[in-house]
Homo-oligomer: A and B are copies of this chain.
Amino acid sequence: MNFGSDNMAGVSPRIMAALAEANAGPAPAYGNDDLTRRAESMLQEFFEHEVAVAFVSTGTAANALALSCLVEPFGAVVCHAEAHIMVDECGAPEFYSGGAKLVGSAGYGAKLTPEIIVDVLERVGPLKPHHVRPQAVSVTQASEIGTVYSQSEIAAISVLAHARGLKVHMDGARFANALTHLDCAPADITWRAGVDVLCFGATKAGAMAAEAVIAFDPTLREALAYRRKRSGHLLSKHRFIAAQWISFLEKDHWRELAGHANAMAQRLAAGIAASGRGRVAFAVEANEVFAVIARADDERLRAAGAIHHPWSTHGIGLDPLPGDDEVFVRLVTSFATTERDVDRFLAVLGGKSA
């Protein structure tokens, strides 16, 4: 009953096997090997666009690197108040960009809208040079509340951003889950919808440590390369991160992994809704379920061995707010979540023994 995070799962067996297979003899270091070339080529095909790619070990590094290529030190990033880049990266974007500012706004379901962005731009930026200069908008897909932007929602944000001279960054730690949910072409919800740089996550989906900064403007290639090395994120035995990406993308393994996680989230959400012992608070469009349950039920679940985190209601438009005898919780599924895990949780929630 581990719904703490998709980070707690191990590695997909297929990806682990690919790592072992990649261990066959010597290979050039620092990304000058065949597996790296192949992985980059597969991404180019995946997105149907020329891309500048930097593979790194963590999503925090990917986001910070990406933003540092889009935003100058005197710049600012418009994001949601609860965005991972704002709250949970210990200021990595500020570090990598030389102190650029993140300006966060509240928004329903942890999603930005053109209206929210316009409101920020009215207050931040006009008084030059006293104000920092907004240079990027950052959206998280799927959002920190497990909601997914539609293609038109992304496009609307991008059109506004570009009209105002801002680039568009997408934190895709759970991009695979969003893509699977939308079942469209990757290009449709990235560059075709105006996204300038995507941070595509494979780790939460089932890799060991594999994220990719994908810039759709190839002129960013050099800056990305220098900044990655300078931040200590250029792996020497680079073939191994490439091997993870190849097996993640090959034969739609990503869709299989994310699809399973999404399905488990649907099962969990449906069960909670049906139980009458809690309410699913936001649309479940990826692999996270945010629910309001009774404090007493939460305690019973934990006593029975469930692992999940209480979550902040700040800035996401949860309405109504939990009562004093309720808690707002996050439940995350992964490729490793079994139907049995879900059913056990629901059984305990529903008052039955494990």
Question: Which positions in A face B, CB cutoff 8 Å?
Answer: 2, 4-5, 7-11, 13, 16, 19-20, 22-30, 56-65, 72-74, 76, 87-92, 94-95, 97-102, 123-124, 127-133, 203-204, 208-209, 222-223, 225-237, 240, 312, 314, 336
Contacts and interface: CB of A to CB of B under 8 A. Distances in A.
Given A123-B314, A230-B73, A237 B29 contact: no
Contact of A98 (B30, B73, B232, B233): B73
Nearest to A81: B123
Nearest to A82: B123
B92 A231 contact: yes
Contacts of A72: 223, 226
A22 B7 CA distance: 14
A232 B64 contact: yes
Contact of A131 (B10, B20, B88): B88
Q: Interface on chain A toward B: helix, strand, loop, or mixed SS?
A: loop
A92 B232 contact: yes
A81 to B, nearest CB: 10
B229 A209 contact: no
Most buried by B among A56, A72, A88, A208: A208
Contact of A232 (B9, B27, B28, B89): B89
Contact of A94 (B7, B64, B90, B99): B99
Given A74-B90, A226-B129, A56 B10 contact: no
Contacts of A20: 16, 20
A235 B73 contact: no
Contact of A240 (B29, B63, B130, B208): B208
A1 to B, nearest CB: 10
Contacts of A133: 226
Contacts of A65: 232
Contacts of A336: 25-26
B60 A229 contact: yes
B232 A233 contact: yes
A10 B237 contact: yes
20 contacts: A4-B29, A8-B26, A8-B29, A10-B22, A58-B234, A59-B236, A61-B231, A61-B232, A61-B233, A63-B232, A65-B232, A74-B90, A89-B230, A90-B132, A95-B230, A128-B226, A130-B229, A203-B237, A209-B235, A209-B237
Nearest to A101: B91
Contacts of A88: 127, 130-131
